[in-house]
Amino acid sequence: MSGYRNAVDGDYLKEAAHTLRWQKSIAFMAASGNAGRLIEGGLDLGERTPLTGMMEELFGCRFVNSDSDLDVEPLQGSYGVVSAMEVLEHLYNPLHLLLEVRKVMRGEDARLFVSMPLSRPAMLRSPDHFHEMGESEARALFGRAGFRVQRSARFRIRRPLFYLSGVKPFLRLLFEKVQIYELSVKRGGSDAAE
């Protein structure tokens, strides 16, 4: 398997930045028009984390976690909501995954939630990330895969005092943000709003 994937272990789960990211991600999802609607099932791409349980509570359905190689293998099933939280930057071919997600999304109101780090200078990039994208690259990728951006946001994942603990943390204040998107499948015609 690729060295670009993180192990979801005790150390990963205890990191304060992940907890804050999960809280902000679930708040973004809660503002969706789909939160609270009857959804038949969800797919959380990657390993199960506390965010998976939060999404199950928010959307009122069980979420299945993927266990296949997301770079090359097909996805199975049918889902009203799919999440790819901090996944695309670890893939060699994120377009393949997005095309597969599109195939398993069902219903006019089906949604894909994606979060990833905003592209940052090389000295701040994670060695576990194969791709880091700016907003225009992310939107182009989503459009190419047949998705329409419903809404997006950016947020920080560190507590304020962290940024005062050194030079590199201060640079993270300037450059480190998470971008998050709510996407729907394009249904024919062109979408000028993208």
Question: Any idea where the domains of the chain sit in the sequence?
Answer: 10-185
How high does pLDDT run on average in the chain? 83
Q: Are 44 and 81 in contact (CB under 8 A)?
A: no
Does position 190 have pLDDT exceeding 90, yes or no? Answer: no
What's the pLDDT tens digit per position in 142-188?
A: 999 999 999 999 987 767 776 677 777 666 666 678 899 999 999 87
What amino acid occupies position 191? D
Q: How many helices (H) and strands (E) does the chain have?
A: 6, 6
H or E segment and range at residue 63: strand 63-65
Euclidean distance between CA atoms 190 and 60, whole angstroms:
33
Say which range, 78-82, 95-99, 128-132, 179-183, has the weakest mean pLDDT.
128-132
Does position 121 have pLDDT exceeding 80, yes or no? Answer: no
Does position 34 have pLDDT exceeding 50, yes or no? Answer: yes
Read off the pTM.
0.82
Helices of type H across the chain:
10-14, 16-30, 50-59, 94-104, 135-144, 167-175
CATH of 10-185, one of 3.30.360.10, 3.40.50.2000, 3.40.50.150, 3.40.50.10540: 3.40.50.150
Mean pLDDT of all residues in 7-36:
79
Show the tokens assigned to 131.
């791709």
Euclidean distance between CA atoms 124 and 80, whole angstroms:
36
